């Protein structure tokens, strides 16, 4: 059997003649100390960096051609945030909107950091064949710090858009994509989380026995 050279993280994709939408596996286990979280949620890795379990969303726009003419954008969303969208599809929500803006990474030569903006919304207008909108925008801005929370935000007046892709879907097409993501999340959790729980419980039991012998 030939050696596998590449393994895709793609969970599912939706393709039209001009655009592509795909969801990718970026999920991570929590640290052993936080095993009951199931998914990493800002846990520190061995390098001291925050790790969060995510679903990656990538969009391509071929309207002006392929190759270097293709517009590519991406953003990340947590599994629970994405499943909230699916829950609203399942309950038949007529109007819905969720959006986020994130700034992260180290400043470039101009002092700006990477920015991703994500919008997922359903229009309540009657008669629309494709009421759902997914829009991702990528750009750069100066990162400012919130003195009270310690979080980061986009400094006013510094944002510069680099690329944007927008796609409209009907209820069934978006449901199908998110249903496939939901199935993968469930399988991922059943495959990897039990091992993390066992690791944590073994350590807890060992520590308890050591304390008893002191």
pLDDT at 1 over 60: no
Whether 149 is covered by a domain: the verdict is yes
Q: What is the pLDDT of residue 47?
A: 77
Q: What is the largest CA-CA distance in the chain?
A: 73
Q: What is the pLDDT of residue 48?
A: 76
Look at residue 106 and give its three-state secondary structure: coil
Whether 5 is covered by a domain: the verdict is no
**Domain span at residue 126?**
10-207
The neighbouring-strand residues paired with 59 are 21, 73
Q: What is the pLDDT of residue 183?
A: 98
How many Å apart are CA 113 and CA 62, to the nearest integer?
26
How many Å apart are CA 36 and CA 198, to the nearest integer?
11
Q: Which helix (H) or strand (E) holds 156?
A: none
User: How open is the CA angle 102-177-76, to the nearest 5 degrees?
Assistant: 15
Q: Which pLDDT band, with edges at 50, 70 and 90, does 3 fall under?
A: confident
User: Do residues 123 and 150 make contact, with C-beta atoms less than 8 angstroms apart?
Assistant: no
Whether 1 is covered by a domain: the verdict is no
**Residue 149 tokens, joined:** 């929370």
The model's pLDDT over 42-96, given as tens digits with 9 standing for 90+, comes to 888 777 788 999 999 999 999 999 899 999 999 999 999 999 999 999 999 999 9
Compute φ and ψ for 86, nearest 5 degrees: -60, -40
Look at residue 142 and give its three-state secondary structure: coil
Nearest CA-CA partner of 167 in 137, 138, 135, 119: 135
Nearest CA-CA partner of 104 in 140, 54, 149: 140
Whether 60 is covered by a domain: the verdict is yes
User: Do residues 136 and 116 make contact, with C-beta atoms less than 8 angstroms apart?
Assistant: yes
Least confident of 2-11, 17-26, 173-182, 183-192: 2-11
Least confident of 105-114, 144-153, 197-206: 144-153
Burial class of residue 86, CB neighbours in 10 A (0-12, 13-18, 19+): middle
Nearest CA-CA partner of 83 in 188, 181, 170: 181
Whether 2 is covered by a domain: the verdict is no
Domains of the chain: total: 1
Q: What is the pLDDT of residue 130?
A: 96
Whether 3 is covered by a domain: the verdict is no
Whether 25 is covered by a domain: the verdict is yes
- Which of residues 49 and 205 earns the better pLDDT score? 205
Q: What is the pTM of this model?
A: 0.91
The model's pLDDT over 135-190, given as tens digits with 9 standing for 90+, comes to 999 999 999 988 777 788 999 999 999 999 999 999 999 999 999 999 999 999 99
Q: Which pLDDT band, with edges at 50, 70 and 90, does 213 fall under?
A: confident
């Amino acid at each position: 059997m030939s050696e596998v050279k590449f393994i895709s993280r793609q969970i599912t994709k939706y393709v039209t003649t001009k655009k592509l939408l795909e969801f990718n596996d970026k999920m991570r286990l929590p640290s052993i100390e936080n095993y009951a979280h199931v998914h990493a949620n800002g846990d520190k890795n061995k390098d001291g960096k925050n790790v969060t379990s995510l679903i990656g969303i990538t969009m391509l726009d071929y309207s002006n051609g392929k190759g270097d003419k293709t517009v590519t954008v991406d953003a990340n969303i947590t599994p629970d945030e994405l499943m909230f969208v699916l829950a609203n599809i399942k309950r038949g929500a007529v109007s819905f909107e969720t959006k986020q803006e994130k700034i992260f990474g180290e400043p470039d030569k101009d002092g700006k950091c990477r920015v991703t903006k994500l919008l997922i919304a359903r229009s309540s207008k009657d008669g629309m064949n494709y009421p759902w909108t997914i829009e991702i925008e990528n750009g750069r801005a100066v990162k400012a710090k919130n003195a009270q929370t310690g979080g980061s935000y986009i400094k006013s007046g510094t944002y510069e858009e680099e690329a944007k892709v927008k796609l409209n879907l009907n209820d069934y097409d978006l449901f199908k994509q998110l249903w496939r993501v939901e199935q993968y999340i469930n399988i991922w959790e059943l495959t990897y989380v039990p091992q993390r729980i066992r690791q944590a419980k073994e350590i807890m039991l060992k520590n308890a026995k050591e304390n008893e012998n002191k």
